[in-house]
Every structure is written in C-alpha cells, then in structure tokens.
Amino acid sequence: MKRFCLGIALLLALVGTSQAEVASEGEQARRLLQSAVEYYRMQGDAALAAFSRQGEFVDGEHYVFVVDTQGTMLASGGSSAVLIGRDVSTVLEPELRTAFAEALASEEGRIETAEYRWMNVRDARVERKQVYYQRVGERIIAVGHYLPRATPQQAQGLLDRAVSALESDLQGTLGSINNLSADFREDDLYVFVVDLNSRRYVAHGYNLRLLGVDFASIKDPEGKPVGAPILALIGKSASAGYDYRWKNPVTGKVEDKYALLRKVGHYLVAVGYYREPK
C-alpha cells in the first residue's frame, strides 16, 4: 500500500493541465475522469492504449493517466507518458507521501480529490494543483489541473517577506522584484513598490512596463481610479487594504482583487490577491 501511495502521488504531480478558471477547469477534469472510468470498466486494460494517445481522452491540456497499486505508470496522454512501464514510487517528498496516503485510504469507486504544490513545467513555477482520481480494481485513474488563485494567507505571507527583505536590503530587493524572482511571485501573487516621494512605480513583479509610471494615474480597466485612492489610504496609515478590479496574470481575465498595503519608509509595498467569483 505504501508503494502504491508514493507512486500515485508522484504521478498526480506530473499531470500537466490548464490554468483557467477553477470552477470550469475542475468540472472539465471531472467529466474527463468520469468518461475514462466508464470506458475502462467496459474495456478493461485494453483502454490503456486509448488513454496513451491523442484522442478523445485528451481534452485541451487535460489528459488521463493510470497507475497500478504497485506504483507503476500504465498509461498517460500527456508529458508523463515517458514514465509508462516504470516504477516511480520511491521518488517523492515526505510531505506528499503523508497527504496522499491519507487521501487514498478511501473505498473503491468514489471520485476523490487532493491538493498540493508542484512545479508547473509550462511556466517553471511551483503552484497549487488539484487532482481528481478514482480507484477501479487495481488501477487508479486520474486527471488534474492547476489552481490559479492564491489565498489571502499566501498574500499576507508574501507581503511580510517582501517588507522584511526591503528593510534589510532595499536596492537588492527592488532588483529581485524587477527581475521577476520567484522569491517575490507565488501563483497569481506578485509584489509592487511605489516611491511615495515621486509617486512612481520603482518595482513590479509582473508588468515591468509600469516602472516609472505615476501611480496616481493608474485606473482599472473600466476607468475607476486605483492609484489615487490607495495613495490617500497609505497617507493616513502604515497599513491598509483596497478593493479594485484588475487582470489576473494566470486566468487572463479581469477579476475582483484586494490589495494588502504596507508603508516601509517612503515606499508603498503591496500584494493583492484575487477573490473567488461570487
């Protein structure tokens, strides 16, 4: 059972999927999983060949993969196809072993889900990932997708790290943010910094074209002022928060966003997180 848990955990982590809206992506993954399970029940292991080629079991960037209870990859319609026939059960971080061991201690036939952090090979970033899987006999059939929205707790943590770094090494940290360092980017989160004396951006962890732009002139896509009210807030307090609308760099859509604001000397430091759709 231990080898099975380790193998399925690693393989789940290797699934490549789209980073669109969580709700639609999750439903798409579940539908593909249900279709694959039904097909496997009719065809048995003969279905493995169909899962491993481009066709009805590849839906955009979603694909099906299958492992057995010995930790061996049996089928994959995506990048993890290179592992077919290999026992990969021993290559896994300890924290993932525990999480998946608990998730897989369930009865056969139910669709289960698990969430963890793993490298997304499309953009070389560690991101949250959700996988749907179902056990059918000695086979585990699964489909997964990356989650685009970071949590408020992640945003607060990133802001705290950025503030601490700026206080200890101002110029070095501004340079790291502008170099799009992974230390100051996480999922759909990024840091931006404004010089309160000049009111201009001096660092931005996503859009370098904003460097030097007057922050007071910034408006949302619908023309509502964003920079001016934030400057007014931070002029009255060392920390604040502000609701606005902004493009999510992961989904590519304009969404509701909440910025966590902090004053460090004569600099405004901010990290915003995107709210779940209502």
Per-residue model confidence as pLDDT tens digits over 25-74: 778 889 999 999 999 999 999 999 999 988 889 887 788 988 887 778 89
Contact 205, 184 (CB under 8 A): yes
Percent of the chain topping pLDDT 90: 47
Domain boundary at 146, 162, 192, which? 146
Domain boundary at 146, 177, 211, which? 146
Are 137 and 162 in the same domain?
no
Are 138 and 6 in the same domain?
yes
Q: What number is the average pLDDT over the span 142-154?
A: 80
Say which residues have a Cβ less than 8 Å from residue 102's Cβ, sequence separation at least 6: none
Are 6 and 139 in the same domain?
yes
Are 6 and 126 in the same domain?
yes
Are 131 and 64 in the same domain?
yes
Are 253 and 182 in the same domain?
yes
Query: DSSP letter at 275?
Result: P
- CATH of residue 17's domain is 3.30.450.20
Convert 70-85 to b/e letters by CB count within 10 Å (16 or more is b): ebbbbbbbbebbebbe
Task: Choose between 106 and 201: higher pLDDT.
Answer: 201
Mean pLDDT, rounded, of the chain: 82
Are 132 and 167 in the same domain?
no
Are 165 and 92 in the same domain?
no
Q: What is the pLDDT of residue 43?
A: 96
Residue 263, classed as helix, strand or coil, is strand
Domain boundary at 89, 111, 146, which? 146
Are 128 and 187 in the same domain?
no
Instruction: Match 């010995």 to its residue by tokens.
Output: 70
Are 10 and 125 in the same domain?
yes
Are 112 and 201 in the same domain?
no
Q: Which of 263, 265, 264, 266 is nearest to 198 (CA)?
A: 266
Of the listed ranges 7-21, 48-62, 195-209, the one predicted with least confidence: 7-21
Are 205 and 267 in the same domain?
yes
Strand-pair partners of 84: 73
How many domains would you assign to the chain?
A: 2
Per-residue model confidence as pLDDT tens digits over 87-144: 766 555 665 566 555 655 566 878 888 776 665 555 555 666 778 899 998 888 988 7
Say which residues have a Cβ less than 8 Å from residue 142's Cβ, sequence separation at least 6: 8, 11, 12, 15, 33, 64, 65, 66, 67, 131, 132, 133, 134
Range of the domain at 99: 2-146
Q: What is the pLDDT of residue 6?
A: 43
